[in-house]
Chains A and B, each alone.
Chain A
Amino acid sequence: MIAPARESPWLSRALVFLVAATALTALGLGGTAAGDLFAPLFGPRDPAIEASFGRNLLVGVMLAGAFVLNLEFLRLLLFRWQVLVVWGELLLLFYGFVQSFGRDFSVVFESGESGVSNLYFLITTGAFTTIYVSLIAIAIACLLALLGALGKLSRNGAAYAVATFYISFFRGTPLLLQVVLIYTGLAQLGFVLEAVPAGITALALCYGAYMAEIFRAGIEGVPHGQREAAKALGVPEGLIFRKIVFPQAMRLIVPPTGNQFIAMLKDSSLVSVVGVWELTKTAQVLGKRDFQVFEFLIAAAVIYWIMSVVFEVVQARLEAYYGKGQRR
Chain B
Amino acid sequence: MHFYVKLGAAALLASAVAVPAAWAGETLDRVMSTKTLTMSSDPEYPPQSFLNDKNEMDGFDVDVGKEIAKRMGAELKIVTPGWDIITAGSWGGRWDMSVGSMTPTKKRAEVLDFPAVYYYTPAAFAVHKDSDMDSLDDLNGKVIGSCGGCTYDAYLMKDLEIDAEGAPPFEYEVEAGEIKTYETDTHAFDDLALGDGARLDAVFSALPTIQEAIKKGGYPMKVIGKPAFYEPLSVATDKGDPEFDAKIAEVVAAMKSDGTLKKLSEKWYGVDLTTVQ
A83 interface residue (CB < 8 Å to B): no
B169 interface residue (CB < 8 Å to A): no
B275 interface residue (CB < 8 Å to A): no
B177 interface residue (CB < 8 Å to A): no
Given A112-B53, A291-B213: A188 and B186 within 8 A (CB)? no
A-B contacts at CB below 8 angstroms, number: 84
Contact B218 A275 (CB under 8 A): no
How many residues of B are counted as interface, with CB atoms below 8 angstroms from the partner's CB atoms? 32
Tell me, in angstroms, the Cα distance from A53 to B163 when the chains sit together.
63
CB proximity of A177 to chain B, nearest CB, Å = 11
Most buried by A among B44, B46, B55, B85: B55
CB proximity of A314 to chain B, nearest CB, Å = 31
Contact B219 A291 (CB under 8 A): yes
Contact A192 B82 (CB under 8 A): no
Tell me, in angstroms, the Cα distance from A274 to B94 when the chains sit together.
11
A289 interface residue (CB < 8 Å to B): yes
CB proximity of A271 to chain B, nearest CB, Å = 10
Most buried by B among A281, A289, A293: A289
Taking chain B's interface residues, is the majority helix, strand, or loop, or is none over half, making it mixed?
loop
Contact B218 A286 (CB under 8 A): no
Contact B55 A183 (CB under 8 A): no
Chain B residues whose C-beta falls within 8 Å of the C-beta of A188 in the assembled complex: 90, 92
A194 interface residue (CB < 8 Å to B): yes
Given A121-B55, A288-B50: A275 and B213 within 8 A (CB)? no
B81 interface residue (CB < 8 Å to A): yes
Chain B residues whose C-beta falls within 8 Å of the C-beta of A195 in the assembled complex: 79, 81, 94
Which A residues form the contact surface with B (CB < 8 A)? Answer: 112-114, 116, 121, 180, 183-184, 187-188, 192, 194-195, 272-275, 277, 281, 284-286, 288-294
**22 pairs across A/B with beta carbons < 8 Å?**
A112-B52, A114-B54, A114-B55, A114-B56, A121-B55, A184-B88, A187-B92, A187-B94, A188-B92, A195-B81, A272-B82, A273-B81, A273-B85, A277-B80, A285-B50, A285-B51, A288-B45, A289-B53, A291-B213, A291-B217, A292-B217, A294-B190
